[in-house]
Structures are given as C-alpha cells and as structure tokens.
Amino acid sequence: MTMDSTALEGAAIGKGAIEHKAIGEESLAPQETRIMDPWSYLFAWLGGCVSIGTFTIGSGLVGTLNLLQTFVAITIGCTVIGVALMFNGKAGHKYGIPFMVQTRSAFGFTGSRIPALVRSVPAIVWFGFQSWIGAGALNLVSETMFGFSNIWVFFIGFQLLQIGLSVLGFHGIKWLENIGSVFIIGALIYMFFSVINKYGDQISANLINVEGTWGAPFWGATMLFLGIYSTMMLNVSDYSRELRKDVGPLRQVAIYANSILPATLFMGMIGLMVSGATGEVDPIKVFSSAVDNKFLLIVTLVFIAFAQVTTNILNNVVPPAYALMDIFKLKFKTSAVLVGLLAFATFPWELVKDESAAGLNLFIRTYSAFLGPIFAILIVDYFFIRKQTLNLEKLYDPEGPYQGVNMAAMIAMAAGIAAALIFSGISWYASLLPSGILYYVLMHKLPSAKRFMEN
C-alpha cells in the first residue's frame, strides 16, 4: 500500500516498498511500482499533447511564416522538448519522486513552493481555456442533433466530468489516454486531409507560395510551440516516475518525440492552414467549417471535446494537485477537485475571444520566462551539483539541510527571468544560460547555500 507523503516525511526511506496502488490513490512518496510500459507512456503523452493552444499558435502565425517554416519551427520546438523531458525526467524515473520533491534540493522545502506556483498557474488557466473549448464543441453537437444550445450548461457539466475522471489518478489516466489515443490519431489524420481537400487552393496561395521569414519571428515561433509544453518540462518527473525502470534515455526521447511531434504538427498545421484560408481563428468554427458531412462533423466535435479531457487530466490537473498535496497536506482526490473548481475562476470565456489570441501568445511567452530558469536550475542541480545522486532521506526531511529557502536558486531564477523578459520573443531560450551558470556559481560561493550542497 502506498504511504502518504506526510507519513513518509520523517520515516526511514525504503522500508515499505510500494506494491499496489488503488485507483485514485496518489502520493508524493517514492514510487516503486511502475504502471506505465513504453507503449502506455507513449499513448499517454500523445493524448496529453493534443492541445487547442497549439492550434491557436498555428493560427497566429498566418502572415508571418509559410507552411514549410511552420513545419520546421514545430519540429525544432518538439525536438528540444523531447531532449529536455528526458533530462529533467531522469530524477523522477530513477528515484520515483515527483516534481514537488525533486525541487527541494535546489530550492529548499519552503522555496519549492515558488516553482510549484509558477507551474500551477498556467496549468489551471489552460484547464479552464480548454474546458470552454470542449464545452463549445459539445454544445454544437447538441445544437446540431437536438436543437438545444446552452454553453454554460455544457461548460459546467464538462468541468464536473473532468473533475470526476481526474480523481481516478494515474491508473485512470493510463486507460483514458491509451483508449483515447487511437481515436485521436484517426481524427487528426482525417481532419488534416479534409482541410487540404477543402482549402487546397487557398493554402497554396497564402501559405506555400509566400516568402515568410527565417529570422527572429521564426525562432520566436519555435519558442511558442516549445512554450506550450515548457510547463511539462518542469514536472515531467510526475510522469516519468510511473514509467518502467528498464526504459533507457534514448528510448525515452523516442517516446517523447513520437508522441509530441505528431500531435503538435497536426494541430499547429491545421490551425495555420484553416486560418490562412478563411481568416477564422475560433477552433470550433474552424473545425466545423472543414467538414461538410453532418455525421463527420459530430465525430469531429466529439474529438475536440475528448482531446481536451485527455490533455487537461494529464497536464493540467496532476501538477497543481501535487502542489496542493505538498503545501496543504491534502489527499490527491481533494486536490484534484480543488484544481477543477479553480479553473472556473480563470474566465475562459474571455480567453477564447478572437481579440484574445495575441494575449494568449503573450501569456505563453511570459510564463515561459519563469519556467525556463527553473528548468535550468533543476538540470544544473541534478547533473552538475548532485552528479545524478540524490539522498531521499534528506529530500523527505523538512528539518534537514534542505529546510527553508535556498537563496542561490532564488537569485539565479530572478536573473534568468530578467534575461527572458529582455529577450521576450525567445524568453525560454534566453533564460537558460544566465540562470544555470549563476546557480552553479552561487552554490559554490554563497555561504547560505553551503548546507544545500550536502548530499
């Protein structure tokens, strides 16, 4: 039986190996039993990466990049993501620890709440945004089939459905993502070719036979596609701790690449092509306009709704739920319910408006400015300070050397954020070196950081 995190803190590590985990029973304790084989893990990431946010970014590149440049930008962004996920997920994969525990050696027990907050805010915002999109799709299905339309009824109901599914924990997530991925793959392929067949001439004129640019806007686009997943780069240990231990690093990169890249390419390119051909940026209108057959329209809209469920539960519930578990000592089910309720307060009906598209891109750049420094600090801490060796007893001892706040991490994070905001178009990239290098130097030179060097 899994020990809860409160019981584990202060107890000897390793005395009670985890043998079974009931549905919905999640813990911050080291995970011994791994429920994800490579295929399950790949399907989980595939289902979790079909993001309407990716579609919105693609739509926003109309007039800036041509089709080839968008394809290359997505490929570069996803390659960086795959490598970054593998590296930052190594601690979770090796030791079975979640993100909240991983951050303690670098930021301290109290300081770890900062990266938790930075990771949780975009998760909750995306949860609300994507739930509104999914509710809009279901509302259009209802209107098409039964003549009943009430977006608020569907939004509240859809949100409650996701809350109910999220409390099932990783056992529930595994089967939801595995089953859903088959449907998602088929629907994405169908929609992609439907768009090409319907808007081929406009796509050729507006997106293929245009110059575009390979300059700063191109690299900014790679950052945007990367930024959608920069949140998951931080808390990838929450997922890698569930992956079988015998899956090596190269195979992990292959899993990440073969799941994230197809989903991102399809969603980003569809957004670019349809918006470039029609000028429409509302994803519901875009997808419905690409389908003439009523039955296929309904299937497409159900896909949109289902894709929001798979993405939200994996990416936008688990991280803030673990944060609430750690900070307020709550159970996972309680935390998952609170995350779902908090998503109501993000006013997603405002975020989906046409005039909000530019603001959404700004939001991605801004939170990426905070996520990049944290990512760099975690990488430097695990690989260069700890040499890939962690002391689990100290990581779970709130009175040990990692108690309080590590000012080396805080100063390095502030420096990285400043660099990212100065170079806002490539904020995530710009933050890495300043924060990573400064953290390494301060860990060796700052007197207050000396106790955090213990391992």
171, pLDDT greater than 80: no
12, pLDDT greater than 50: no
Q: How many C-beta atoms surround the C-beta of residue 404 within 10 A?
A: 15
Query: Which pLDDT score, from 0 to 100, does residue 225 have?
Result: 83
229, pLDDT greater than 60: yes
**b/e map of 85-121 (b: 16 or more CB within 10 Å)?**
bbbbbbbbbbbbbbbbbbbbbbbbbebbbbbbebbbb
Show the domains of the chain with their CATH numbers: 36-368 (1.10.4160.10)
- Give tens-digit pLDDT for 21-80: 454 467 888 988 888 899 988 888 887 777 777 877 887 787 888 888 988 998 988 888
Contact 31, 18 (CB under 8 A): yes
Amino acid at residue number 97: I
Measured in whole angstroms, the distance separating CA 348 from the mean position of its chain's CA atoms is: 18
Cα 88 to Cα 104: distance, rounded to the nearest angstrom: 14
Instruction: Give helix 113-146 / helix 318-328 axis angle, nearest 10°.
Output: 140
pLDDT-derived band at 432 (thresholds 50, 70, 90) equals very high
- Give tens-digit pLDDT for 98-141: 999 999 999 999 999 999 988 898 899 889 988 988 898 899 88
